[in-house]
């Protein structure tokens, strides 16, 4: 039997509030993931560990997303979406609060892992709910709106958090993250419609994930997005040591990169609704050209400023189309596949930064763009294969169809 929520839904559904709630929670999870990088010295000193050990709290969060996320998704496959979203938001807040008050390094790590385990499933629910709110014809735009929370975290959340943590205590930024996440949960509690529990179960979710086209789409994310990380992880030393840009200018360039990422994500979402295939191919072709240009123009400051902006636009322009590609193949059981694809972006970052680091250690800092271009080329090849496997008709999934129908009913 399938569990359902028997409470009658509210008469009026406000999609804007629902989307705002998910964007806020996604922004908070993204900020929490990378915030530690800006307060490592303060954290290390406070809990009496080395900076290297403090940096492992970033790794702990990433592993919590990549490993814990799919496990949580499987275990909650038949839990009604609204109740699950609220529960996951509370789990994230609880982990963040534990991080704030943790007296020891071990408890800091525990708090980070607890928070991280909610991210992938919460993100996946946000994607399917947003698609139900806006409809299949605006699927790419819906995904881009929810994903914009991550780009906002990159543009504003992490830099402001690092600045605040550097002037007060490393714990203070996490207090603000917890407060903002609480607001996100309250928005969902007030505005998100109650829908029946998904009819798909654990076996359906796993069977969907293991389908060839879905695995191809996830692989495209890992390989294609990894090329961005090869360059971006070591962009600061590249600009400082090779290009010769003054240290005071680099933060402004990174902010430009982040603003470009915010715009690129939203534009790509709209383009994906017009033509998913053309958008993916176009983004990867542009990404290949841009990454390959980095080694050639690394010694020229003015062209490099333009390349940084273009890379910012293209980096997040992959998110909405790649998630749309996964959603297209996932059918009636999309949550696990979307959650795994969220972890795939984390895995791409890990692979790209590791290989890029090996290149830097070998004295190839300037030439990292060529490695990134190779990854993007492989991503383009996988894209062609994944698109070729795409279904002829793009019917909405069962979960998003249920959400859309429920929204329509409660709005009348």
CB crowding 257-271: b at 16 or more within 10 Å, else e:
bbbbbbbbbbbbbeb
Residues 407 and 351 in one domain: no
Mean pLDDT in residue range 271-299 = 95
160 or 103, higher pLDDT: 103
Rounded Cα gap, residues 175 and 133, in angstroms: 31
pLDDT digits 0-9 by tens, 287-296: 999 999 999 9
Mean pLDDT in residue range 30-39 = 81
Residues 65 and 211 in one domain: no
Q: Is residue 347 part of a domain?
A: yes
Q: Is residue 6 part of a domain?
A: no
Asked if pLDDT for residue 312 goes beyond 70, the answer is: yes
Task: Give pTM, 2 decimals.
Answer: 0.79
Residues 252 and 308 in one domain: yes
Q: Is residue 356 part of a domain?
A: yes
Closest CA to 338 of 387, 401, 400: 400
pLDDT of residue 302: 92
Give residue 222's domain range.
204-388
Residues 141 and 26 in one domain: yes
Token match 């895995």: residue? 347
User: Could you tell me if 265 and 320 are in contact, meaning their C-beta atoms sit under 8 angstroms apart?
Assistant: yes
Asked if pLDDT for residue 396 goes beyond 60, the answer is: no
Rounded Cα gap, residues 305 and 296, in angstroms: 14
Q: Is residue 10 part of a domain?
A: no
Residues 246 and 179 in one domain: no
Residues 35 and 136 in one domain: yes
pLDDT of residue 375: 95
pLDDT bracket for residue 139 (50, 70, 90):
confident
Domain count, the chain: 2
Asked if pLDDT for residue 18 goes beyond 60, the answer is: yes
pLDDT digits 0-9 by tens, 170-185: 999 999 999 999 999 9
Residues 401 and 371 in one domain: no
pLDDT of residue 390: 54
pLDDT digits 0-9 by tens, 365-382: 999 999 999 999 999 999
Sign of CA dihedral 56, 57, 59, 63: positive
Q: What percent of the chain is modeled with pLDDT above 90?
A: 42
Q: Is residue 5 part of a domain?
A: no
Structure tokens at 256: 């430009």
pLDDT of residue 8: 43
The total of other beta-carbon atoms located within 10 Å of residue 168's CB is 13
pLDDT digits 0-9 by tens, 232-269: 878 888 998 899 988 778 878 878 888 888 899 999 99
Residues 305 and 264 in one domain: yes
Residues 172 and 224 in one domain: no
Choice among 103-117, 247-261, 275-289 with the minimum mean pLDDT: 247-261
Q: Is residue 163 part of a domain?
A: yes
Asked if pLDDT for residue 15 goes beyond 70, the answer is: yes
Q: Is residue 2 part of a domain?
A: no
Map residue 323 onto helix, strand or coil.
Answer: helix
Mean pLDDT in residue range 16-36 = 91
| Mean pLDDT taken over the chain | 85
Domain CATH for 103? 1.20.1250.20
Asked if pLDDT for residue 272 goes beyond 90, the answer is: yes
Residues 275 and 173 in one domain: no
Residues 255 and 360 in one domain: yes
Q: Is residue 139 part of a domain?
A: yes
pLDDT of residue 391: 55
Closest CA to 376 of 344, 343, 352, 404: 352
Residues 165 and 61 in one domain: yes
């Amino acid at each position: 039997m399938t569990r359902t929520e028997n409470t009658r839904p509210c008469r009026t559904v406000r999609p804007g509030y629902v989307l705002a709630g998910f964007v806020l929670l996604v922004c908070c999870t993204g900020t929490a993931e990378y915030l530690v990088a800006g307060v490592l010295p303060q954290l290390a000193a406070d809990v009496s560990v080395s900076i290297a050990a403090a940096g492992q709290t970033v790794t702990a969060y990433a592993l919590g997303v990549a490993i814990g996320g799919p496990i949580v998704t499987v275990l909650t496959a038949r839990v009604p979406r609204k109740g699950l979203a609220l529960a996951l938001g509370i789990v994230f807040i609880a982990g963040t609060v534990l991080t704030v008050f943790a007296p020891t390094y071990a408890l800091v790590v525990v708090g980070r892992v607890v928070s991280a385990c909610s991210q992938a499933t919460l993100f996946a629910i946000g994607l399917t709910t947003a698609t139900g709110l806006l409809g299949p014809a605006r699927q790419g735009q819906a995904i881009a709106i929810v994903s914009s929370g991550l780009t906002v975290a990159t543009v504003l959340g992490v830099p402001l958090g690092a600045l605040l943590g550097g002037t007060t205590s490393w714990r203070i930024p996490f207090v603000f993250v917890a407060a903002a996440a609480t607001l996100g949960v309250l928005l969902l509690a007030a505005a998100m419609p109650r829908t029946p529990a998904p009819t798909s179960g654990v076996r359906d979710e796993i069977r969907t994930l293991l389908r060839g086209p879905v695995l191809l789409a996830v692989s495209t994310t890992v390989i294609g997005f990894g090329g961005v990380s090869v360059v971006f992880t070591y962009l600061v030393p590249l600009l400082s040591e090779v290009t010769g840009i003054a240290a005071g200018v680099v933060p402004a360039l990174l902010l430009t990169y982040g603003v470009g990422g915010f715009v690129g994500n939203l534009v790509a979402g709209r383009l994906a609704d017009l033509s998913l295939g053309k958008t993916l191919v176009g983004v990867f072709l542009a990404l290949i050209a841009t990454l390959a240009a980095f080694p050639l123009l690394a010694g020229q400051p003015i062209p490099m400023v333009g390349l940084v902006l273009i890379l910012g636009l293209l980096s997040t322009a992959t998110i909405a189309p790649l998630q749309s590609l996964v959603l297209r193949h996932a059918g009636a059981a999309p949550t696990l596949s979307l959650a795994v694809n969220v972890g795939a972006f984390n895995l791409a970052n890990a692979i790209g930064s590791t290989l890029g680091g090996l290149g830097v250690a070998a004295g190839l800092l300037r030439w990292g763009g060529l490695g990134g271009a190779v990854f993007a080329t492989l991503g383009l090849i996988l894209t062609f294969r994944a698109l070729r496997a795409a279904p002829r008709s793009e019917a909405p999934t069962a979960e998003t169809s249920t959400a859309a129908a429920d929204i329509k009913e409660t709005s009348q």
